[in-house]
Amino acid sequence: MPDPNDRREFIRGLLLLSAAGLAACASKPTPQPAAPTATAAQPAARPTGEARTPSAIPPAATPTLVVSRGGDPAELTRRAIAALGGIERFVKPGANVIVKPNICNAYHGPEYASTTNPNVVAAIVALCLGAGAQRVRVMDFPFAGSPQASYETSGIAAAVVAAGGQMEMMNRLKFRKTAIPQGKKLRSSNIYGDILDADVVINIPIAKNHGSAGLTLGMKNLMGVIQDRNTLHAWGLHQCIADLNTAIRPQLTVVDAYRMLMANGPTGGNLDDVKQANTVIASADGVAADAYAATLFGIQPAEIGYIKLGAELGLGTMDLSAIKIEEIAV
């Protein structure tokens, strides 16, 4: 006669195992995402910028956009942010800060200009910590290769850790299906929860050529915080980028144009395609920052779909003659 305790143990084990098995099936990513639809059950994205921009209004003399030229990348970054009113304008003591550079793959080092300059990223991390930020995390979701390898190859991991920041491997469990009520085409998306919850998001794209988007700049860089990116192309990439930017609104955008990738982007790999521009652009207005960066390629802002559509959605201004721009030589 078998011991009933044995049987109970066995059934308990079996239940646990099948629960785990079922969970495994349930958690399988849907291979082909259906067309996006916003449902009432999804939490709406709280635009990070609107909701949490610190109340301190910059003095009237503060420029909307700062361009710094010459010098080394860290110094360019520090001077640009100082001229914008200092990091304290964006980062309050105790703030939970997420910095989003462009670390799109593990192919090449920073000299190939396919990933954001590590010294620009590290300078911003140091500034945030200096302003009393409680926690500064740096992350991206590379489209090829592992995040660990990409973080290392880009040089960003070493620079960030030396500056006192943390590299975070984006965790698939933290993506949240989020409604995008202001979106025209992209009505919902799986967005990284910590980006939605952060006090401050600082977007640090690198200025790059990009086949389908024309250029990849700040607004495009935010595609790194959602899942199911490829399908956006089929739905109309530019409108989707603009829509996504209604849900995630970084308080500060710093465009790294220390080196610019002029062709074969966004992956790069050819030093002949890299232009040494020694430029950093900083603005609280992500549309304006992208608009100015486009001019560095000799492209009118309105020629880049997502810049134009972003301006139409009221995310910022692409009319560079209408804003106060300060240019500084370092």
Residues that bind another protein (CB under 8 A): 19-29, 32, 105-107, 143-149, 153, 168-169, 171-174, 210-212, 230-231, 233-234, 236-237, 264, 266-270, 273
By C-beta, is 84 or 242 nearer to another protein?
A: 242
For the chain, the first-to-last Cα distance in angstroms comes to: 87
How big is the chain, counted in residues? 330
Minimum distance from residue 148 beta carbon to another protein (Å): 5
The least CB distance from residue 106 to another protein, in Å, is 5
Question: CB of 86: closest distance to another protein in angstroms?
Answer: 32
**Residue 208: CB minimum distance to another protein, A:** 11
- Pairing of the two strands 166-167 and 135-138: parallel
3-class SS at 139?
coil
Q: For residue 266, which of 100, 99, 144, 157 has the smallest C-alpha distance?
A: 144
Q: Of the two residues 197 and 327, which places its CB atom closer to another protein in the complex?
A: 197
Q: Six-digit token pair at 178?
A: 């989020």
**Contact indicator for 282, 66 with CB cutoff of 8 Å:** yes
Q: Which residue is it, tokens 């409108």?
A: 239
State in angstroms the smallest separation of the CB of 232 from another protein.
8
Q: Which residue do the tokens 């549309």 mark? A: 287
Pick between residue 194 and residue 285 the one whose CB is nearest to another protein.
194
Q: From CA 192, how far away is CA 294, in angstroms rounded?
A: 27
Strand, helix or coil for residue 94: coil
- In 3D space, the residue among 217, 194, 179 whose CA is nearest the CA of residue 99 turns out to be 194
Residue 105 or 245 having the CB closest to another protein: 105
Is residue 58 within 8 Å of 89, Cβ to Cβ? yes
- Closer to another protein by CB, 69 or 108: give it: 108
Nearer to another protein, 190 or 264 (CB): 264
* Minimum CB–partner distance for residue 80 and another protein (Å): 29
